Amino acid sequence: MAGTRRVQASKRRTPLSRERVVRAALELVDREGLEALSMRRLGAELGVEAMSLYNHVRDKDDLLGAVTELALSRFRVPEPSGDWAEDARRAAREWRRLFLEHPSLIRLLAERNEPLRSPAALGPMEHALDILARAGLTPREAVQAFHAFGGYIFGFVMMEQGIMLTGDDPVRRRAHVEMAEAVEAAHLPRLREAMPDLMECDGDEQFVFGLELLIEGLRAKAAARA
């Protein structure tokens, strides 16, 4: 009887596979955050014991790497517009969209500090370097600009998700009043006059501002050479 039930269950179960494991892990992480991902929990999610996952994944680090790559593979290279600046804007926005769609992706990249060499990451890199080459930069300058844009996008989204005071959740609201108190207590005139703008700032608009700064800087550099 018990045997029969077990047979049925195992017949019913669609077999595990690396892809299924990694997909479920990404979904779990997207849904409930990085710390929700434990081997036991992921096993439960798949109706399977924790140790069974190890048939498809070397260890947790391997799993996290695969999850990172899967998330990165969701990057959709935007269509070129003919104008390099517009293309840069589109690519940067697509990166931000990706990071916001997978809020743990930034932490994944930050914690496992493994250089990006997966195929999923190389496509977008090629795309970015192509835009910068079309902007008239030398390969060397293109690499420098790549790091500048990359750093900006990366760091901005990270601040946006953590430190920045955008959004309206109650925890932010509490941070607002605490910060306002601290600013009043100390003598910080610039901060005081900036407080309104610090609080009601819109992430999208802020992001574009810095992006335009970088593009304008690049344009100036190109103009100076010509």
Where does this chain bind DNA (CB under 7 A)? 3, 6-7, 10-11, 13, 15-16, 37-41, 43, 48-52, 54-56, 59-61
Between 26 and 131, whose beta carbon lies closer to DNA? 26
| Spatial distance between the Cα atoms of 199 and 167, rounded to a whole number of angstroms | 8
Does 85 engage in binding with a second copy (CB under 8 A)? no
| Spatial distance between the Cα atoms of 25 and 21, rounded to a whole number of angstroms | 6
Show the binding pattern over residues 114-143: x = contacts a second copy (CB under 8 A), - = does not: xxxxxx--xx-xx--xx--x-----xx-xx
- CA dihedral for 44, 49, 54, 60, sign (positive or negative): positive
Does 156 engage in binding with a second copy (CB under 8 A)? yes
Between 16 and 208, whose beta carbon lies closer to a second copy? 208
Dihedrals φ, ψ of 161, to 5°? Answer: -80, -25
Does 33 engage in binding with a second copy (CB under 8 A)? no
State the nearest-atom distance from the C-beta of 119 to a second copy, in Å: 6
Partner whose footprint covers residue 161, from a second copy, DNA, none (CB < 5 to 8 Å by kind): a second copy
| Spatial distance between the Cα atoms of 43 and 45, rounded to a whole number of angstroms | 5
CB atoms within 10 A of CB 6: 10
Partner whose footprint covers residue 38, from DNA, a second copy, none (CB < 5 to 8 Å by kind): DNA
Residue of 57, 70, 98, 215 interacting with a second copy (CB under 8 A)? 215
Two tokens at 24?
């479920």
Does 170 engage in binding with a second copy (CB under 8 A)? no
Site size toward a second copy, by CB under 8 A? 75
Residue of 27, 83, 101, 178 interacting with a second copy (CB under 8 A)? 178
| Cα angle: 221, vertex 225, 226; to 5 degrees | 120
Q: In Å, how far are 78, 176, 192 from 92, measured between CA atoms? A: 10, 29, 32
